[in-house]
Amino acid sequence: MPSSTIAPSHSAKPVDKASLAVAALSTIVEWYDFTLYLYFASVLSRVFFGDTPQSLLVTLGGFAISYLMRPLGAAVFGHIGDKFGRKTMMMLSMLLITVAMFATALLPTAAQIGTAAGVALIALRCVMSFAVGAEYTGVVAYLLEGAKRSRRGFITSLASAASEVGGLLAVAVCGATVACLSEAQLTAWGWRIPFIIGGVLALVVWAARSTMQESPEFVQKQRMQALAKSPLLQTIRQHKVGIFRSFMISALGSITYYVGISYVPIFLQDTGNHSEKLALSLSTIAAVAVIVITPLVGGLTDKVGRRPVLIGLALCCVLLPALLFDWMASGTTTQALIGAVLLACLAGGVSAVGASATAEQFTTEGRLSGLALGTTMATAIFGGLTPWLAQYWLDQSHWAMVPALMIAVVAVVVLPVFWQMPETAFDDQR
């Protein structure tokens, strides 16, 4: 059986630092957009679905529905990336993101066209999710293939760190918009500002990507005429184990991020009885902490390996969330801050090691297709759906520990997989 865990040879010359920087920083746009939607959910619910008790749940439901498009986008763009190059794929996906972002900013509201406004918002979220499906996996593959073998963990973790920069930027923009405008202004036109900023940011990244070098490993395979004719089918046949492992790694990464970071502002407002402004402020501090911890964890995996770090983080995800969510629900503001920061650091740590660990499950010719089937599918299930589920179960049970239980259950399930998973950090030395 072909190996699904052996990393490819890194005989190809690494790409220049400028290309690596553009690739790493470009994940800012992806996570700005999706963090924006969650952090701005309470505002968007009023604007597009009316000021009703059910509007927030409907808004989160729209987020979950749109996320189902992410695996489809990853599969389509993954095929393009494995056939025609990483750069081509990333240029196309960012162009679509730019169009979708500006289109969202121009949408009419529920006050103007009624229920059609909510339908239009969800439709554009689906377009955005389709394009975003290619983003993170494409960037991670590019960074892994363009980095020195001994620095793969650190370099790929920069994509995760930049993601947190995007989340931080979303929090800052949302916080500033809410702070500077009245509720009436926010509902009438102020909600458009964060999406306009996102569109401009996406356009800048698209232009910057035009200057990037192509992945050296892809170019090497292309010159050798070793590219797969049907990358998706070949990956399904040859890398089933790799798909499964990348799915499990991403399952933990997704639920810790979307429940432990993105959902936290909603939790703080709904259960912890904190104001919208305070919840966004606490989340901003947590995002800063993650930006610092993520590359440190990525660098650590280059020294000690991916497997032990994954196991350690999974154990923490079993034991800590209950305490941290309790602090956020019933503790002081200081306890809520500590809870939000530690939860965010757990999520950032899993994302840091997951970036390289998932990409190393596949060889160059089918890497993007494999990530689409494993990583992106897990993100769709455990990312897009979990904030809605957390809020729904919280509304039904009135038990603040629901989000903590969700994280702990996933961690318990993935632990045996991590325990049996071979080390990929030092494959070139075997």
Is 317 inside a domain boundary? yes
- Alpha-carbon distance of 345 to 313, in angstroms, equals 10
Q: When comparing pLDDT for 299 and 226, which is higher? A: 299
169-218 pLDDT per residue, tens: 887 888 788 888 888 888 888 889 999 999 999 999 999 999 988 888 77
Instruction: Report, as an integer, the average pLDDT of 18-36.
Output: 84
Q: pLDDT at position 10, please?
A: 44
49-73 pLDDT per residue, tens: 877 777 877 887 777 778 788 888 8
Is 7 inside a domain boundary? no
Q: pLDDT at position 40, please?
A: 78
CATH of the domain at 294: 1.20.1250.20
Has residue 3 got a pLDDT over 60?
A: no
Has residue 8 got a pLDDT over 60?
A: no
Is 429 inside a domain boundary? no
Q: pLDDT at position 97, please?
A: 92
Question: 225 falls in which pLDDT band (50, 70, 90)?
Answer: low
Has residue 45 got a pLDDT over 90?
A: no
Has residue 137 got a pLDDT over 70?
A: yes
Is 430 inside a domain boundary? no
Q: When comparing pLDDT for 374 and 385, which is higher? A: 374
Q: How many domains does the chain have?
A: 1
The boundaries of the domain holding residue 165 are 17-424
- Cβ neighbours for 223, distance < 8 A, ≥ 6 positions apart: none
249-284 pLDDT per residue, tens: 999 999 998 888 878 888 888 776 777 778 878 878
Is 2 inside a domain boundary? no
| DSSP code string of 302-365 | HHH-HHHHHHHHHHHHHHSHHHHHHHHHHS-HHHHHHHHHHHHHHHHHHHHHHHHHHHTTS-GG
- Alpha-carbon distance of 414 to 45, in angstroms, equals 34
Nearest to 202 by CA among 372, 41, 19, 31: 31
Nearest to 250 by CA among 362, 378, 371, 130: 378
Instruction: Report, as an integer, the average pLDDT of 373-399.
Output: 82
Output the average pLDDT for the chain. 84
- Alpha-carbon distance of 301 to 245, in angstroms, equals 17
304-322 pLDDT per residue, tens: 999 999 999 999 999 999 9
Is 371 inside a domain boundary? yes
Is 3 inside a domain boundary? no
- Alpha-carbon distance of 55 to 337, in angstroms, equals 27
Is 130 inside a domain boundary? yes
Question: 106 falls in which pLDDT band (50, 70, 90)?
Answer: very high
Q: pLDDT at position 38, please?
A: 73
